[in-house]
Structures are given as C-alpha cells and as structure tokens.
Chain A
Amino acid sequence: MSIKLNVIDLPKDDYKGGPSSLCPGCGHDQISNVIIQAAWENGIQPEKIAKMSGIGCSSKTPAYFLGKSHGFNTVHGRMPSVTTGANLINKDLTYIGVSGDGDSASIGIGQFIHAIRRNLNMVYIIENNGVYGLTKGQYSATAEVGSKKKKGEINMSQPIDLCAVALNLGCTFVARSFSGAKKQLKALIKAGLSHKGMAVIDVISPCVTFNNNDESLRSFGYVRGNSNELHVIDYIPQREPVQEVEIPAGNYRDITLHDGSTIRLETIDDTHDPSDLVAALAALHRAEEGQKHVTGLLYFNPNVETTEEQLNLSDTALLNLKENQLRPSKESLIEIIKNKRG
C-alpha cells in the first residue's frame, strides 16, 4: 500500500507530534490534529515552522503536533513577545502560536493586544474554554456572566470577546471556530497559515473536565455523590471526543457536548463580507444578544505591513547575516573616535 504524500512529498506522519497528556476527549487534541492536517495539506516544510505557546492546557499542545519543528513553550501570557523576537531574527519561518483564554484574555492580554497592533506575521490560535484547566476549574476572563463554577459561585464579570478585541485593534485576520467543527477549522487554519500578518483564530474548545454550567456541575455532583469524596477532584471521566458537526451556512444549531450541555453555533451567513469591519463587529454583537456563537472568517485585510516590514530590515533574515554585516569595520570605529576627539 502506498503512503499518501503531500505536495512536497512528505507523509502526514512527518507532521505528527508526541502523545497527548491532556484529559481524554479534550477538544484541544482535536485542534492539534487539525493543525497537523492543515500544515500537511498546505505543504509547508515542517522544519520551517516554529510552534510557540505560553502556559496552560492549550500551551502544552505544541508537544503533540509537528514533531519536526522547533518549538518554544514559554511563560504564561508571553508567547506573543517571544514570537515577536524570533520573527524579527528569522522572518522566513511560519509561526504558529497556541494559547488559551487564560493565557491571552487575562495574564497575557497586553501582549495579545500589542502583537495585533504590530501585525506580527503569525497564526494565533486561542483554544478557548472559559476555564483554567491545569489549576482545576477557575474562571477565565472569557466566562459568561452568570455561569456557575463547580463550587457554586456565580461569575459576575463581563466576558472578554477576543475576536471583538482583535477587530477593534485592526487585526488583519479574525476568525472564530469550534474544536468539533473540523472542516471549518481546517479551512481557517490553512487560510491563516497563508495569511501575511496576524491571523487570530478563536476556537471554542469546551473543557471536558471543568465545564462551567449547571449540567456540568450536576454531573460532577453526581460523580462526587457516587464515589470516594477524597478523589472527586482528581476524577477524570472517560469521554468520547465532541461529535463532529457540519453547519449549513446561515443556520445555527445546538450541539450536545460531553456532559449533556449544549452550545449554539451559527455559521456566518454567506453574504457576510469579510472585508467589512463594521459587519464583522455587528455579527459578533448580534450573536451575543441571541446567546449564540458565530463562527467562520469574520474579517480579513491582507494589505497591512507586518512588524518586520514596518522596520525596513535587510531582505536577508537577520539570522543569516554574516559577521562583516553585523560588525562594522575597524575604520568606522577609528573615524568615530577621531570625531569625538575633535
């Protein structure tokens, strides 16, 4: 049996990573698989990709895809700055950043904002579940008002919509998707990889373990009531991945999650013009009013200079400059000293 190769004659295995250590059935693993598929289908040389992340469940995932690419699992909320530095030294790589809602909407919102402002050339994937997973279920800044935590406290703070933030900052590629919407997500990541500039893709990726809703609570209460209480917090239920869904354009539909709760998704209407910033914002606000999510490519503007273009740097990536291009001549120093001596 012949192995299927991509446009640069590489098998998909060349794009795979190590085994995941996330909770079984986690939506993040589905996103990793979509990244693998998208990079393979796009025919990017794996060694010419750099995988960047911060801290959190999402930020662990670069270990699970693109094993032939260098990566950097940095510090909490600071992936954008590290990516900025790497990009300025080596502009020839394709940068894929993976972050979460805690990483980008809370501790790292400043860096999220400024990387967008500079139009850093990268794909910025947010694996958004509204909750801190690795520290076991605290609210993130994207959790809705009124959502209930495991222990019963109700979230009273307004959520931050990272797509709305990105749009208002002039982000050049803004999309929202869902970890179970494989086809749509793949299309968006592939498009993001081809985009020159900042491609923000906010992917709703419900947490199978710490989901913040009544059903989830009930479910955990049920578990707690039916097992040894000391072990309740550590109990990780075995679940199947979220079912794949295909939503016809212009419609919405409720999708059943692992624990019986629902998420309402709407595919943005075919008539939506992704170059219309006001329409993109209106779509987000309308969805919010109707307590729905709107997914798809919200906004796209390919005509903005990227960070490294704004800086008028050498055509050669700075990494590849020779010593005589980095260190000025001895004569130039003698001249400086001569002028200073007067």
Chain B
Amino acid sequence: MGYIVNDCVINIATANGTGSQSANLIILQALFEMGVDVSGKNFFPSNISGLPTWYVIRVSEKGYQAPGDQVNFQILMNKATWEKDIQSVKPGTVIIYNSDVKMPVEREDCIVYPVPMTKLAKKIHPKLAKMIANIIYVGILAELLNFDSEKLELAISKQFLGKEKAIQLNVDAANAGREFFKENFTKEDSYTIEKREKDEDAFLVEGNEAVALGAIYGGVNLLAWYPITPSSSVAESIIEWIPKLRLDENGKSTCAVIQAEDEIAAVGMIVGGGWAGGRAMTATSGPGISLMSEFIGLSYFAEIPCVIWDVNRTGPSTGLPTRTQQGDLSMLYEASHGDTQHIVLIPGTVEECFEHGWKAFDIAEQYQTIVFGFSDLDLGMNKWKATNFEYPPEKMNRGKVVISQEQFDKIQNFGRYRDIDGDGIPYRTLPGSGLAPILYRGTGHDEDGVYSEDPEVYNKMMARLRRKIDGSRTKLPQPVFKNNDAKEIGIIYYGSMQNTIQEIDDILEATGIKISQCRVRSLPLSPEVENFVSEHDLTIVLEINRDAQIYGILRKEIPITLVQKLHSVAYSDGLPPKANVYAEKILKKINEVRE
C-alpha cells in the first residue's frame, strides 16, 4: 500500500497545565530532527491550569506552516472537550485516546485506538503518572508514523536538557507507548513519516526569543516592561540572556531591566532612557499600547528615540488574550492625539524578528523618534524554522547626537529642533553634556526648544516632523516581492501572513490564477508598494483583522487614480490564518471585481 508521506495534521486536545506542552514539543522536535518540514501551533486559553488547550502539528513536504484544514490524527486527553473533539473529525481520522479516562468514543467511521495511558505511566513512575501519560501518546504516534527512535530520543533529551532522570523516564514512557501499539494494534491509516536529509543549518525558535536576541545584539541598555500576554517572553528572554551576553568584566550588567508598575510607567522609563542617551525598549501588546499613547506622542513631538515591541493579540479591549491578530497596525502608525506618524517595523519571519530587533535601535536614534516592532502571538509564541541570525553587518548608528564641544562647534546655528541638513532630522545634545541645554517639553516649541504658541512656528515644526518621518520610506526594510512578473493580480500582505501565503498562492494557482506577492515590511510605506499597485491590474490587500487596516493606510497614501485597483480581503477569528479560508475569500473578491 502506498502511504501519504510527510503530509498530515495532528491535533492534540489536552487541558492547560497538565504537562502536555512538553510532549507536544517533543513530537515537533522529533519530526524536525528527522528533517521533515513541520510547524506547531499552540491554541491555549487565558488560564494557567484546567482549561482546554489544543496543539496542532502540521507536517508538510511543501513547507506549509499554516494550520491544516483537516485533522488526520486526533489525540483525546481532555474530558471537557471530549465529545466536541470527537464530533469535529472527519471519517477516516485516527483517534488515539486515554482509555483510563473512562469516556466513550463512538466513531465507527474512524480508526480508534484506546490506550490505557495512565496505567502504563503508573508502571513507569506512580507519582509522576499524570505527566508521563502525555509521553505515552508520543510513543503511540511515533510507532504509528514510523518515527526514528534515535531522533525521538534526541528530541526528548533536548526538551529536558541536562536532566538525566527526566530524560530516561520520558524515553521509557515513549518506548512503553510504542510497545503497547505493536502488541495490541495494527496500522490502518495511510500516513507515514520518512526521514529526509536535515538542513544542518535549520533550528526552531520562537519569534519573541528572536526579538529578544536581536535587542541584545542591538545594544539595548534599558528594558522597562510590564507583563502582558503574548509579549512577556520577549522581556523574559532578554532577562535570561543578559547573564550570558551582557555582563561587563566585573560581572555587572550593561543592560538595566526594570519591571514597571504598569505600561504607562514602562513607556515613561524608556522615554526617560532615550532622552538620557540610552537604547531603551519595552515589549507589550495592544492594551499596553493604548495605555502608552500619551507618551508615544511625547516621544514623537519632543523627538526622543525609543523602541516598543507590540506582540499583537486579539482585540478590542481585553479581547482574546491568547489569540492572534494583526489588529494594532493602524493604531501604531498614528498612535497618540494630534497629528502623529510613527515608524513601524513588520517582521514576517523569525530571522526578521532578530534583524528588526537590533535595527529598531539604529532607526530610532537615526530618526530621533519612537520605533515600533510589530509582531503577533502566532509569530511570537510559536516555534518557527530559521537557518541563521545574521550578525549586524554595520556598526551601531547612533544618529545625529553631539557629544563633544569640538563636534558642537562645527555646527552652525545649532538649535535642538533646527533642520540644519535639510533632511528634517535635527541634532541633539544629551543631559549631562552641558552642550546647549534645553528644557524638553511636550508643549509647543520653536527651533531652539523654547516654548512657543506661534502659529507659523507650530506649522513649520509639524511640517518638518512629517518630512523627517517621510524621509525614512526608502531607508526602512523594503518590501519583498515574489513572482513579480505575473503583473495581473497582486497580493499585498505583511507580518505572520508570510507563513500562510505560499499555500494560498498554490491554491489560487490550482484554479488558474497566478498572483504576484508584495510583502510589506515597514511603515511608512515604501514607494515600491505604490509601484507594485500601479503595475498590476488589481491588487488584493490581505490581512488578519476586520477593518482592513493597511488597506486603509494605502488608500490614504497612494494616488487616487490607483485606489480603484485596491481591494481588501481582511478576516480575523482569533486563530492563525488557514490557507483555504483566505484563498476562498480572495477568489470571491476577484470574481466580484471582474463581474
């Protein structure tokens, strides 16, 4: 019988806090070690213990990373969602369940394997049976899908790094699962896993850790933060890496970390740090940005460099704290009252999370303003394949900061807010330098930083600020294009949609539609985006939100003659984007336009 090789979806239904996450990561890592293209997504509740959690593993020879549309292997560990999970699977699905739970599974149209996971686990270690029971299903799956034993053991030892006893217990449990399957069942499904030549450069990493490492290599010297899902692991990861990477010769830290009393204080601290000449950052999510808005305006108007990472969760309000979305983008672009405009970096891969992590500081100091990094729960908290983090190729760009009298004397007609070079970016001096001291303020000020309500002064100041930020359009990370020779239908997208776009593209291509891709990587938009729109008959703007946020920005910023070529496909249900959901909406939109 011919098997379907390296192409299946495994859904593991468990309860939060039962230790299943280790088991799930072991499956993911084992597949990865076998050289198989795999992605894993955690669908978890806003809860520490007890509520249902699903972990979905997608194995795809084509490298698709979106959650698959149809589950092939369903593992049942959670009584609370038992019936719903059983009902949700299609005929032919393999169901593996813990028979010690004493819950019925009546699906004669499925391949059902009852496994006494708790009993098997108790034999290995009575006290830890609840945790080890999870590893039994790892063993069952491993046997069913023909996992390589060595790679499975390697994955277990990576999960429990250095804890020899735990490694042995878990290896024993996995083997017990394998043996139980061999003795009691026969394989009836048509899926299998084959080893591939592993890309020796590849590794798995979460977006948040990539951002954290980027920040460390970007020379962050002040991290002020307030815990909020899904951004906390950015800060926690920086804290974890400081002892290894950022201690001086006396063992003292070169990066201050402070857990603030709230997001307002966190942003206040980084504005203070940036004002004093530091590389200061915070990490937060949408509710935090809402709270930080007043300071964001101060940073813009008083021209203080600092960096905020927004790991987007589903809004509005408290929203769905453990779900994903691209719902904060338009807020970031124009955050705070009055006329403002901010630079936003939008990584789409974990490599770019690292790159933008360090680059954000250079850009903030170069433009003397707040710079946002925009990630989301999907990119930030799931593990993704990376092949390298490239070391910053250039020295740090500290911008137009004047630190010596000699430098200062060379500047004619210095004024803190005077546009001497014609690029909208003034020179700044730092507190403590004694060079041209001013009282920085969020109130109106003239080119010398002196309080002013003069209409002409205000108008000129605001025009310069706009010119300054506009000047970044060609300097920020530029869009990435793919198949840009088709010229008929273009798709503009950004951020974590990168992980689903190729599958969408392939679905569309199967219907005879060839598309070109344009992945936006920063705001304000590069002029290349406008070119892309003008070169295509019609352009779909694809995003994971309800209100078509980047579509709105495009409509406002591109020439009115091009606006009619733009069509929005925006959808969000809190989950990472599934390819067929978005592909269908794109097809529908194309048909509407063409009618």
Contacts and interface: CB of A to CB of B under 8 A. Distances in A.
Interface of A: 45-48, 50-51, 62-63, 67-75, 78, 80-90, 92-93, 110-111, 113-114, 118, 307-308, 311-316, 318-319, 321, 323, 325-328, 330, 332-334, 336-337, 340-342
Given A70-B431, A73-B441, A110-B261, A82 B271 contact: yes
Interface in B543-585: none
Interface in B185-233: 200-205, 213, 216-219, 221-222, 224
Given A47-B434, A315-B250, A83 B272 contact: yes
Given A47-B437, A63-B451, A323-B396, A90 B431 contact: yes
Given A68-B437, A70-B440, A78-B265, A92 B432 contact: yes
B70 interface: no
B437 A84 contact: no
B275 interface: yes
Contacts of B392: 327
Contacts, number: 215
Contacts of A89: 221-222, 256, 272-273, 276-278, 280
Contacts of B246: 328
Given A47-B437, A111-B265, A314-B248, 7 more contacts: A78-B268, A85-B275, A89-B277, A313-B253, A318-B222, A332-B245, A333-B217
A154 B248 CA distance: 59
Nearest to B302: A72
B442 interface: yes
Contacts of B395: 323
Given A78-B265, A114-B265, A341-B202, A70 B437 contact: yes
A337 B253 contact: no
Nearest to B224: A85
Given A73-B442, A85-B280, A326 B396 contact: yes
Interface in B11-65: 33
A50 B265 contact: no
B439 A62 contact: yes
B439 A85 contact: no
A53 to B, nearest CB: 9
Interface residues of B, number: 72
A86 B431 contact: yes
Contact of B260 (A62, A81, A86, A92): A81
Nearest to A48: B432
Nearest to B246: A328
Interface string B117-137: 000000000000000000000
Nearest to A339: B203
11 contacts: A73-B441, A73-B442, A74-B298, A86-B276, A88-B258, A90-B278, A90-B430, A311-B258, A321-B221, A325-B248, A330-B391
B356 to A, nearest CB: 16
If over half of A's interface residues share one DSSP class (helix, strand or loop), that class is named, otherwise mixed; here it is helix
Contacts of A69: 431, 437
Q: Which 7 residue pairs spanning A and B have beta carbons closest together?
A: A85-B272, A81-B268, A47-B434, A326-B219, A89-B278, A85-B269, A70-B431
B270 A93 contact: no
Contacts of A328: 216-217, 245-246
B438 A71 contact: yes
Contacts of B439: 51, 62-63, 70-73
B343 to A, nearest CB: 20
Interface in B266-315: 266-280, 294-295, 298, 302
A307 B269 CA distance: 13
B340 interface: no
Contacts of A93: 276, 431-432
A47 B434 CA distance: 5
A69 B436 CA distance: 9
Contact of B278 (A92, A318, A330): A318
A82 B432 contact: no
B475 interface: no
Please indicate which of the listed interface residues A46, A74, A85, A312 has the most CB atoms of chain B within 10 Å of its own CB: A85
Nearest to B273: A85
Contacts of B438: 70-71
A333 B389 contact: yes
Nearest to B298: A75
A90 B269 contact: no
Contacts of A86: 272-273, 275-276, 431
A75 B442 contact: yes
Contact of A72 (B204, B255, B272, B433): B272
Contacts of A321: 221, 248, 254
A334 B217 CA distance: 12
B253 A312 contact: yes
Contacts of B79: none
Contacts of A90: 276-278, 430-432
B483 interface: no
A182 B270 CA distance: 36
Contacts of B218: 327
Contacts of B274: 85
Nearest to B245: A328
A327 B221 CA distance: 10
A89 B432 CA distance: 11
Contacts of B255: 318
A75 to B, nearest CB: 5
B452 to A, nearest CB: 12
Given A70-B438, A73-B439, A50 B431 contact: yes
A258 to B, nearest CB: 27
Contacts of A316: 248
B234 interface: no
Nearest to A336: B213
A48 B279 CA distance: 20
A330 B274 CA distance: 26
Contacts of A62: 439
Nearest to A50: B431
A273 to B, nearest CB: 32
Contacts of A307: 258
A143 B267 CA distance: 30
Given A82-B272, A85-B224, A85-B268, A308 B451 contact: no
A73 B442 CA distance: 7
A110 B265 contact: yes
A63 B256 CA distance: 30
Contact of B388 (A312, A332, A337): A337
Contacts of B389: 333, 336-337
B145 interface: no
Given A73-B443, A90-B431, A308-B256, A67 B437 contact: yes
B237 to A, nearest CB: 12
A71 B437 CA distance: 8
Given A90-B277, A319-B277, A323-B396, A74 B268 contact: yes
A212 to B, nearest CB: 27
B264 interface: yes
B487 interface: no
Nearest to A55: B442
Contacts of B267: 81
Contacts of A46: 434
Contacts of B279: 326
B213 A327 contact: no
B278 A319 contact: yes
A81 B218 CA distance: 23
A313 B256 contact: yes
Contacts of A110: 261-262, 265
A340 B205 contact: yes
Interface string B428-460: 011111100111111100000001000000000
